Amino acid sequence: MVNVPNLEIRKGESIGLVGNNGAGKTTLFRMILDLIRPEKGEILSKGEVVAGNEHWKNYTASFLDEGFLIDYLTPEEYLYFIGGLQGQNKAQVDEFLNTLTDFFNGEILKRGKYIRDLSKGNQCKVGIASCLLQKPELLMLDEPFANIDPSTQIRLKNLLKDITANHGTTTIVSSHDLNHITDVSDRIILMEKGVIIKDIATSSSTLAELEDYFAVGQSL
């Protein structure tokens, strides 16, 4: 159960969502994406109600887990499909994918594998790439650092910083990795048992404060 009386996220903010297992992070994601409906209240995006409407889908991209991928396609087929939904042809998709060469690290494209046969980490790369391909105004990623290797984690952080700084993308990213999440976020939302405990601007002391909180359970 999630009980969030009010939460406002401003355009261009980079939000880091943290909390222990069962804190309500994924549930909050699913409510924002209209995958589940709140019993009371409503979710607004650009001032319009999300529930039952389509307007927000035109500028929102998300990756929650590999279950949202079409796993009987190859990565190329899937990314061409996503690009096609955005009105992009194969040449345009290929041009964009070339910018992700370092992120893919030679493990995704032209490997002759279906998505279902990739490791979880590489499935995550495909999901993230499909989001970036859409050039969204709002990007939502649930635990994107969990299954990817250290080199890819660093590359992903650079990608997230770039789209926020240079494209004004609003990002909402959840993670159990406090180091990574404080590095890519200018605002941290801490949840416990479905409630927002703290909503703070990221500073040089935020990482240490979060580590202290989760170590001993004291208030920030």
Q: What is the pLDDT of residue 28?
A: 95
Tell me whether residue 92 is exposed, middle or buried, using C-beta atoms within 10 angstroms of its C-beta: 0 to 12, 13 to 18, 19 or more: middle
pLDDT given for residue 211 in this prediction: 93
* Per-residue pLDDT in tens (0 to 9) along the chain, 220 residues: 889 989 999 999 999 999 999 999 999 999 999 999 999 999 999 999 999 999 999 999 999 999 999 999 999 999 999 999 999 999 999 999 999 999 999 999 999 899 999 999 999 999 999 999 999 999 999 999 999 999 999 999 999 999 999 999 999 999 999 999 999 999 999 999 999 999 999 999 999 999 999 987 555 5
Identify which of 48, 42, 9 has the alpha carbon closest to the alpha carbon of residue 139: 9
pLDDT score at 219: 53
The CA distances from residue 88 to 47, 68, 85, 131, in Å, are 28, 21, 7, 14
Asked if residues 27 and 142 have their Cβ atoms less than 8 Å apart, the reply is no
Handedness of CA 24, 29, 30, 31 (dihedral sign): positive
- The pLDDT assigned to 218 comes to 52
C-alpha closest to that of 99 among 133, 144, 55: 133
Return phi, psi of residue 128, to 5°: -65, -45
**Residue 135, Ramachandran bin (φ over 0: left; ψ between -120 and 50: alpha; else beta):** left
pLDDT of 42 reads 94
What is the structure's pLDDT at 217? 59
Pairing of strands 138-142, 187-192: unpaired
**Strands of the sheet with 60-63, listed across from one edge:** 60-63, 138-142, 170-174, 14-18, 187-192, 195-201
Is the distance from CB of 59 to CB of 86 less than 8 angstroms? no
| Bridge partner residues of 18 (DSSP) | 190
Give yes or no for a contact between 160 and 169, defined as CB atoms under 8 angstroms apart: no
pLDDT of amino acid 118: 95
**Per-residue pLDDT at 18:** 97
pLDDT of residue 216: 73
What percentage of the chain has pLDDT greater than the value 70?
98
- Residue 2 — φ and ψ, nearest 5°? -115, 130
pLDDT at res. 45: 96
List of domains in the chain: 1-59+138-220 (3.40.50.300), 66-135 (no CATH)
DSSP structure class, residue 157: H
pTM for this structure? 0.93
